[in-house]
C-alpha cells in the first residue's frame, strides 16, 4: 500500500476497546502494542470503500524551547489552615514553576537570560542531532573503533515522518503516537504526537578508514540500519508462497498475520525476526491446518525447510546491526535519584509513558525520542540540579505540637478545656485576635490540627461521644480515629507557606482503643488484636505502623519530603481487615491520638549530601575535577579527557558571559545530564561484538536494579572482573541479595504478569458487589510476595506453577475460603485445605485479569498461560469474528463451552483455539474475581491435542508441572529480553536452550537462571 493511495483509518483494540488511528501505510500488517492496555494487535487495513486519499505529510517545525521564570521561595514555615496538595505520591514533583535555589548573586538578568538561552539552544541542537539519530534505529559507534574500520560510515538522510496511533479523548487523557524505529520504519514506537518531529539530515561522510585517526573518537554517530550482507531467501519464500498465501494474504488474512512482506526479496535479511513465527510453525508442523483445504507439506519438506530457515535466520541475525537503548522513564528517574542523592525525586506524569513489547518497557525497538521528550530532559536536568545544589546557609529547624478541636469548641471557645499548654488561649489569639492574659501565653510551638467536618462533630449532649475527646494528653484533648480501609478518619498537620526542600519528621503519640466510631465498646470475640496507624502524605497512604491492642501509649514516627510546597500530611487508623462489601466477620480497634509533632528540615550535614556529591566537602574543588568526576558517574564509566575539555570549555564560556562560578558549573552539569552518553546505554562497536567491563556493569545494573551501577560494581569494572564469568556470577549473587533487587518485583514481574492492570478492572458492581478499590491491592500484593519469595530465597522458578502455599491477608483469606487468617498483614499460608489453589494460574489476580466485567473468559485465561507462562503468544483473532453472547453466558455459564465449540468450527479460529481453550475451560470453577463458585453443571474437563484430558484446576496444575521445562524456557526468554533490552534473535533463542539445560542441574533456581543469562553471549555481546 503506497503513500499515494493510503487512506488513514481507525481500529479498536480487542482487549480494552481503545480507538487507534492509523496514519502511516508502513504500519499496516505490523504487530504493535496498544498504548492503553499493552495487549498486542496486528494492524489490518479495511477494505476500500471510498476513493483513495493522498496522505498529507505534517509540516516540520523546530521545537520551541521556552524560558521559564521561577518565583522566589519563602523561608517562612508558619503553619495555618491547610490547603490540600494536588500531588498524589510522596515524591518530588517535576514542575516548571518550582522555586530555584540559586540566586542572581549580583549578575544581571539580561546576562543570565542570554547565557541560558545560548546554552539551551546549543544543548537542544546537540541533543536532538545525536540522540534522535541514535534512537531512530542506527548502530551507535562509540569510540570510533571496532568493525567500523571495515565499513563505510553512512548518514541516515531519510525524511521519515512520525506516524500516529491516537487514543480518542474518551479512552485516554493524552494522545500517543506509534512511530517506526529504524530506517525501514518497521518497528513501532510510542512518542507524544503533538510536537512535530524535527528531521535532521546529516551530510554524507567519507568511509571511516579515510578519516584521520581520532576525528570521531568519543562520539555517538548514527549509522543507517542496513544489513552487511544479503542472504539468499528464495527457498523459504517459495515455500511460503506455496503453502501460506491462500490464508495469509489479502485485506483480511487469517489470524491478522500476512506474509505479503515476507515474499519480497531480501525480507529475511532486513527483518530476520519476522521469519521466526514461520520457523516456529515449521518446527511444530501445525501449519497449514489439516482442515484448511490447503495441501500439507511432507515430513521431509518440513524438516528440510526448518533446518534451512534456521540457518538463514541465524546468518541474517548477525548482519542486521544493533540498536542503542535509551533509559526508560523508571530507569531515568532512578538514575537521577542515585546520581544526585535525591531519593524522592520523580518526574511524575510529565514524561510520556514508555511503550512496551510483550509488556516490557526496556525494549529498544519500542523506543523513540521526540522533541517534546528532549525538552522534558532539559527541564528535568535543570530542576534536579536545583534540588541538589545549595547556595544558602543551613535553614533554621522548627518543631510544632498539634492538638485537635471539634466544632463545638470553635463555636463556643469557652468550652475548650484548660490545659498547661493553653490551647484555648492559642485559639483565641489566632482566630479571635484576642491577646492572652499575662501568664497564660501559649508556647510558641502550639498549633491546631485540621479535623474534617464529619470527624469534628461535637457531642450531641453533655458527656456524649465525639471523635475529639477531652481529658488526656498534654493539651487535655485527644482524637479517636475509627479504622477505615484507606485512612479516611484522619487529622492533618497543616501549613500555610511552602517549606524548605528537605525531609521532615512527623511523630504521633498513639494507642489502640477498643471502641468503634460511635464510642461503643467492641465485642471481644470479633475484635482483632491490633490496628495500624496510617501516615497519609499528599492524599496517599505512604506508611503504616501496626499498633497492638495491649500496647501502652507511645510515639510512632515517619519522615516525609517537602518540595518548596505546602505539604499535606495526616494520620489516622487503617485496616483492610474490615469492610461492609465483603462481609468481614471481624472489627478492628480505633486509634487514640493525644499529640502530633512535626519537625524539620532534617539534614545530617550541611551542605546536604546531594551538594557534596557534586562539589566535594567544600566548594573549592577545581571545576575540571568537579566535571570529570560528575561526568564519570553520569556516563557510568571514566570520562575521557576530550569529554572533560568539552564541558570545561562550556563552563568557561558561561563565566565569560557573566555567570558566577556556581552558575557556570551548573550549566555544564546540566549539559552532562542531557548528553546521549547519560540518556542512552551507549556500547562501543568492536570486531568481536564484545562489551567492556563498564558496559557490562551498566547492563547488569539496569537488568537487576533498574538504575545505575553502584560504587562496588564500578570498582569491579575498574579491576576488569566483569569480563569473566566468575566476576559476573559474584556480582549477581551480591546484587540479588541487595534491597535494590526489589526492582525485579516492581518492574520485571509487573510487566511480565501485568498485575499493574488490576486497578483498571471494572467488574459489574451488581454481579460482584464485594469488589472495591482495596481488593485489587491485596491481589497485587499476593503476586508481589510470591515473586519476592522466589527471588530472595533463590527458589526454583517452578514454584510459580506448583506452590502449595500462598501469601495472603485476611481479605484474600476470606476470598479464598481459608480460616484462621486475621488482620491486614500478609503471611505465608498453606493451601492444603483449598486444594484447587496453587501456583500463578489459580491466584485471584490472574483469574480476575482473565475475566470480563460480567463473566469469566476461558480464552483470556488460556492466553495468559500460553503467553505469560510459556511465552508462546497466539496471533490476534480475525477482526470479523463475532463475540460470545454475553447475556447468555451471564445467565448460564455452561453456555461458554458450547459457544466456544461453535466458534472453533471456523478453520481460521480452530488452529489457535486448539492451543488455548484447554487451559481456560478447567478454570471455570472460579468466578470473574477468582473466587471459587459452585461448579454445578459446569464441565471442567478439556481434551489435550494428544488425547489426554485435563480435569479442573488440579489438572491444570498437574499439566503445568508436566511442562515445567517449557515454562522455564519461556521465563528465561522473557528475562533475557528484559535484561538485554531488545527482542530475541534466533541465536538468542538457541542460547536459551543451553541456559535451561544448565539451570536444570540446579532445580531451575532463579539465581542460576539469571547467572546463566548474564554469562551468555547474548548478554556479554551486542
Domain ranges in the chain are: 9-43, 250-317, 398-450+475-579+586-602, 609-668, 686-736, 741-1015
Residue in this structure with the C-alpha cell 570529570, named with its chain if needed: 628
Q: What is the pLDDT of residues 642-680, one digit of tens each?
A: 999 999 999 999 999 999 999 999 999 999 999 999 999
Which residues are bridge partners to 33 per DSSP? 40
Cα separation, 188 vs 368, whole angstroms: 9
Does the pLDDT at position 962 exceed 50? yes
Is-contact 782 789, C-beta < 8 A? no
R_g (Cα) of the chain, nearest Å: 31
Q: How confident is the model at residue 189 (pLDDT cuts 50, 70, 90)?
A: very low
Check residue 877 and give its pLDDT.
Answer: 65
Cα separation, 632 vs 451, whole angstroms: 51
Q: How confident is the model at residue 41 (pLDDT cuts 50, 70, 90)?
A: low
Between these two residues, 128 and 65, which has the higher pLDDT value?
Answer: 128
The DSSP bridge pattern shows strands 446-448 and 398-403 to be parallel
Cα separation, 274 vs 267, whole angstroms: 9
Cα separation, 192 vs 369, whole angstroms: 9
Check residue 210 and give its pLDDT.
Answer: 30
Does the pLDDT at position 837 exceed 80? yes
Is-contact 725 349, C-beta < 8 A? no
Q: How confident is the model at residue 36 (pLDDT cuts 50, 70, 90)?
A: low
Is-contact 699 731, C-beta < 8 A? no
Check residue 726 and give its pLDDT.
Answer: 96
For residue 845, CA distances in Å to 344, 780, 781 come to 30, 6, 9
Does the pLDDT at position 549 exceed 60? yes
Is-contact 999 965, C-beta < 8 A? no
Check residue 104 and give its pLDDT.
Answer: 35
Does the pLDDT at position 709 exceed 80? yes
Q: What angle do CA 3, 5, 11 make, to 5 degrees?
A: 85
The arithmetic mean of pLDDT across residues 180-198, rounded, is: 34
Q: What are phi and psi of 919, to 5 degrees?
A: -85, -30
Between these two residues, 371 and 747, which has the higher pLDDT value?
Answer: 747
Cα separation, 370 vs 377, whole angstroms: 11
Check residue 199 and give its pLDDT.
Answer: 32
Cα separation, 630 vs 152, whole angstroms: 34
Element holding 694 (H helix, E strand):
helix 693-704
Between these two residues, 736 and 920, which has the higher pLDDT value?
Answer: 736
Q: What is the pLDDT of residues 285-303, one digit of tens each?
A: 777 877 677 788 887 787 7
Between these two residues, 98 and 853, which has the higher pLDDT value?
Answer: 853
Q: How far is CA 541 from the centre of its chain?
A: 20
The arithmetic mean of pLDDT across residues 945-973, rounded, is: 93
Residue in this structure with the C-alpha cell 501509649, named with its chain if needed: 553
Does the pLDDT at position 635 exceed 60? yes
- Output b/e per residue, 127-137; b: 16+ Cβ within 10 A: bbbbbbbbbbb
Q: How many CA atoms lie within 13 A of 520 on its CB side?
A: 8
Check residue 399 and give its pLDDT.
Answer: 92
Average pLDDT score over the chain = 77
Q: Which of 137-141, 449-453, 486-490 has the lowest mean pLDDT?
A: 137-141
The full DSSP string for 381-398 is HHHHHHHH---SPPPPPE
Which residues are bridge partners to 187 per DSSP? 181
Check residue 401 and give its pLDDT.
Answer: 92
Cα separation, 971 vs 996, whole angstroms: 10
The arithmetic mean of pLDDT across residues 416-431, rounded, is: 88
Cα separation, 98 vs 82, whole angstroms: 19
Q: What are phi and psi of 548, to 5 degrees?
A: -65, 150
Q: What is the pLDDT of residues 479-536, one digit of tens each?
A: 998 888 777 888 888 876 777 778 899 999 999 988 888 888 888 777 777 788 989 8
Q: What is the pLDDT of residues 890-927, one digit of tens each?
A: 666 656 677 667 666 666 666 677 778 889 899 999 99
Q: What is the pLDDT of residues 555-577, one digit of tens each?
A: 999 998 887 667 788 898 888 76
With a pLDDT cut of 70, the percent of the chain lying above it is 73
The arithmetic mean of pLDDT across residues 254-272, rounded, is: 78
DSSP 8-state symbol, 922: G
Q: What are phi and psi of 898, to 5 degrees?
A: -65, -40
Q: How confident is the model at residue 611 (pLDDT cuts 50, 70, 90)?
A: very high
Does the pLDDT at position 128 exceed 70? no
Q: Hey, how many other C-beta atoms are within 10 angstroms of the C-beta on 625?
A: 12
Cα separation, 944 vs 916, whole angstroms: 10
Output the CA torsion sign for 64, 67, 70, 71. negative
Q: What is the pLDDT of residues 339-393, one digit of tens each?
A: 999 988 888 778 888 888 888 999 888 888 888 888 899 999 999 999 899 888 8
The DSSP bridge pattern shows strands 477-481 and 468-470 to be antiparallel
Check residue 95 and give its pLDDT.
Answer: 33
DSSP 8-state symbol, 155: -
Q: How confident is the model at residue 246 (pLDDT cuts 50, 70, 90)?
A: confident
Does the pLDDT at position 100 exceed 70? no
Q: Hey, how many other C-beta atoms are within 10 angstroms of the C-beta on 99?
A: 15
Amino acid at each position: 500500500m503506497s503513500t499515494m493511495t493510503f487512506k488513514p483509518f481507525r481500529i479498536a483494540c480487542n482487549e480494552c476497546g481503545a480507538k487507534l488511528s492509523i496514519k502511516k501505510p508502513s504500519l499496516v500488517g505490523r504487530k504493535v502494542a496498544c498504548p492503553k492496555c499493552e495487549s498486542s494487535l496486528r494492524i489490518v487495513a479495511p477494505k476500500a470503500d471510498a476513493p483513495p486519499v493522498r496522505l498529507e505529510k505534517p509540516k516540520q517545525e523546530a521545537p520551541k524551547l521556552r524560558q521559564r521564570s521561577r518565583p522566589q521561595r519563602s523561608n517562612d514555615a508558619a503553619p495555618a489552615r491547610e490547603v490540600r496538595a494536588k500531588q498524589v505520591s510522596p515524591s518530588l514533583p517535576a514542575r516548571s514553576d518550582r522555586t530555584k535555589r540559586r540566586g542572581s548573586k549580583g549578575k544581571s538578568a539580561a546576562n543570565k537570560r542570554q547565557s541560558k538561552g545560548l546554552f539551551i539552544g546549543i544543548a537542544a541542537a546537540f541533543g536532538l542531532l545525536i540522540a534522535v539519530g541514535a534512537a531512530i534505529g542506527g548502530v551507535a559507534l562509540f569510540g570510533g573503533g571496532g568493525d567500523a574500520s571495515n565499513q563505510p560510515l553512512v548518514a541516515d538522510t531519510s525524511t521519515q515522518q512520525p506516524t500516529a496511533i491516537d487514543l480518542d479523548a474518551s479512552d485516554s487523557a493524552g494522545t500517543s503516537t506509534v512511530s517506526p524505529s529504524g530506517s525501514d520504519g518497521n518497528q513501532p514506537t510510542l512518542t507524544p504526537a503533538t510536537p512535530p518531529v524535527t528531521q535532521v539530515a546529516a551530510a554524507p561522510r567519507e568511509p571511516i578508514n579515510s578519516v584521520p585517526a581520532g576525528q570521531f573518537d568519543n562520539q555517538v554517530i548514527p549509522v543507517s540500519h542496513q544489513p552487511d550482507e544479503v542472504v539468499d531467501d528464495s527457498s523459504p519464500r517459495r515455500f511460503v508462497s506455496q503453502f501460506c498465501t491462500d490464508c495469509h494474504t489479502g485485506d483480511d488474512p487469517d489470524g491478522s498475520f500476512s506474509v505479503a512482506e515476507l515474499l519480497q526479496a531480501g525480507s529475511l535479511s532486513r527483518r530476520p525476526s519476522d521469519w521466526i513465527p514461520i520457523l516456529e510453525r515449521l518446527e511444530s508442523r501445525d501449519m497449514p491446518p489439516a482442515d484448511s483445504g490447503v495441501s500439507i507439506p511432507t515430513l521431509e519438506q518440513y524438516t528440510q525447510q526448518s533446518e534451512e530457515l534456521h540457518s538463514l535466520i541465524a546468518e541474517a541475525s548477525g548482519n542486521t546491526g544493533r540498536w542503542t537503548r535509551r533509559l526508560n522513564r523508571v530507569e531515568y528517574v532512578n538514575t537521577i535519584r542515585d546520581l544526585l542523592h535525591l531519593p524522592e525525586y520523580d518526574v511524575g506524569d510529565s514524561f510520556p509513558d514508555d511503550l512496551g513489547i510483550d509488556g516490557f518497557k526496556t525494549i529498544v525497538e519500542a523506543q523513540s525520542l521526540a522533541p517534546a521528550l528532549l525538552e522534558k530532559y532539559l527541564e528535568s536536568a535543570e530542576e534536579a540540579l536545583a534540588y541538589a545544589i545549595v547556595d544558602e546557609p543551613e535553614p533554621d529547624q522548627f518543631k510544632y505540637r498539634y492538638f485537635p478541636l471539634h466544632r463545638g469548641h470553635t463555636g463556643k471557645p469557652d468550652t475548650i478545656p484548660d490545659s498547661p499548654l493553653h490551647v484555648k488561649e492559642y485559639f483565641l489569639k489566632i482566630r479571635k485576635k484576642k491577646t492572652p492574659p499575662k501568664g497564660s501565653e501559649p508556647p510558641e510551638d502550639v498549633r491546631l490540627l485540621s479535623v474534617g467536618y464529619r470527624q469534628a462533630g461535637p457531642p450531641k449532649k453533655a458527656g456524649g461521644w465525639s471523635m475529639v475527646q477531652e481529658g488526656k494528653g498534654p493539651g487535655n484533648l485527644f482524637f479517636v480515629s475509627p479504622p477505615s480501609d484507606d485512612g479516611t478518619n484522619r487529622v492533618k498537620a497543616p501549613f500555610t507557606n511552602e517549606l524548605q526542600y528537605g525531609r521532615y519528621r512527623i511523630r504521633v503519640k498513639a494507642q489502640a482503643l477498643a471502641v468503634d466510631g460511635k464510642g461503643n465498646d467492641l465485642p471481644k470475640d470479633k475484635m482483632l488484636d491490633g490496628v495500624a496507624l496510617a501516615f497519609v502524605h499528599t492524599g496517599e497512604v505512604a506508611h503504616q505502623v501496626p499498633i497492638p491492642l495491649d500496647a501502652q501509649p507511645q510515639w510512632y514516627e515517619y519522615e516525609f519530603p517537602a518540595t518548596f510546597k505546602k505539604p499535606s500530611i495526616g494520620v489516622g487508623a487503617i485496616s483492610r481487615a474490615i469492610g461492609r462489601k465483603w462481609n468481614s466477620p471481624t472489627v478492628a480497634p480505633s486509634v487514640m491520638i493525644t499529640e502530633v509533632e512535626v519537625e524539620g528540615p532534617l539534614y545530617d550535614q550541611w551542605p546536604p549530601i546531594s551538594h557534596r556529591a557534586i562539589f566535594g566537602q567544600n566548594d573549592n574543588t577545581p571545576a575540571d575535577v568537579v566535571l570529570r568526576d560528575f561526568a564519570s558517574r553520569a556516563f557510568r564509566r571514566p570520562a575521557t579527557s576530550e569529554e572533560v575539555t568539552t564541558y570545561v570549555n562550556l563552563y568557561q564560556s558561561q563565566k565569560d558571559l557573566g555567570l558566577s562560578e556556581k552558575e557556570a558549573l551548573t550549566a555544564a552539569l546540566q549539559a552532562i545530564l542531557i548528553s546521549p552518553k547519560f540518556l542512552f546505554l551507549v556500547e562501543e562497536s568492536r570486531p568481536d561484538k564484545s562489551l567492556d567491563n563498564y558496559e557490562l556493569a551498566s547492563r547488569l545494573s539496569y537488568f537487576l536494579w533498574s538504575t545505575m551501577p553502584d560504587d562496588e560494581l564500578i570498582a569491579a569494572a575498574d579491576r576488569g572482573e566483569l569480563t569473566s564469568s566468575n566476576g559476573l556470577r559474584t556480582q549477581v549473587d551480591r546484587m540479588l541479595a541487595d534491597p535494590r533487587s526489589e526492582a525485579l518485583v516492581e518492574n520485571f514481574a509487573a510487566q511480565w504478569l501485568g498485575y499493574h492492570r488490576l486497578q483498571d478492572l471494572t467488574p459489574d458492581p451488581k454481579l460482584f458487589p464485594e469488589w472495591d478499590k482495596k481488593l485489587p491491592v491485596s491481589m497485587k500484593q499476593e503476586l508481589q510476595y510470591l515473586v519476592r519469595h522466589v527471588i530472595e530465597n533463590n527458589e526454583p522458578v517452578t514454584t510459580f506453577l506448583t506452590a502449595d502455599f500462598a501469601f495472603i491477608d485476611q481479605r484474600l483469606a476470606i476470598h479464598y475460603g481459608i480460616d484462621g487468617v486475621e488482620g491486614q498483614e500478609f503471611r505465608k499460608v498453606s493451601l492444603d485445605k483449598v486444594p484447587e489453589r496453587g501456583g500463578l494460574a489459580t491466584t485471584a489476580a490472574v483469574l480476575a485479569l482473565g475475566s470480563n466485567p460480567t463473566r469469566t473468559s476461558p480464552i483470556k485465561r488460556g492466553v495468559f498461560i500460553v503467553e505469560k507462562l510459556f511465552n508462546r503468544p497466539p496471533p490476534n483473532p480475525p477482526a470479523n469474528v463475532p463475540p460470545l453472547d454475553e447475556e447468555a453466558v451471564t445467565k448460564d455459564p455452561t453456555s461458554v463451552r458450547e459457544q466456544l465449540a461453535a466458534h472453533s468450527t471456523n478453520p481460521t479460529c480452530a488452529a489457535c483455539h486448539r492451543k488455548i481453550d484447554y487451559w481456560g475451560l478447567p478454570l471455570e470453577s472460579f468466578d470473574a474475581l477468582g473466587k471459587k463458585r459452585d461448579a454445578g453443571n459446569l464441565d471442567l474437563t478439556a481434551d489435550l491435542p494428544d488425547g489426554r484430558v485435563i480435569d479442573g484446576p488440579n489438572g491444570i496444575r498437574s499439566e503445568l508441572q508436566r511442562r515445567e521445562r517449557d515454562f522455564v524456557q519461556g521465563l528465561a526468554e522473557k528475562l533475557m529480553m528484559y535484561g538485554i533490552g531488545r527482542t530475541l534473535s534466533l541465536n538468542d533463542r538457541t542460547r536459551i536452550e543451553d541456559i535451561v539445560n544448565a539451570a536444570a542441574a540446579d532445580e531451575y533456581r532463579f539465581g542460576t537462571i539469571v547467572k546463566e543469562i548474564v554469562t551468555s553471549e547474548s548478554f556479554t555481546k551486542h
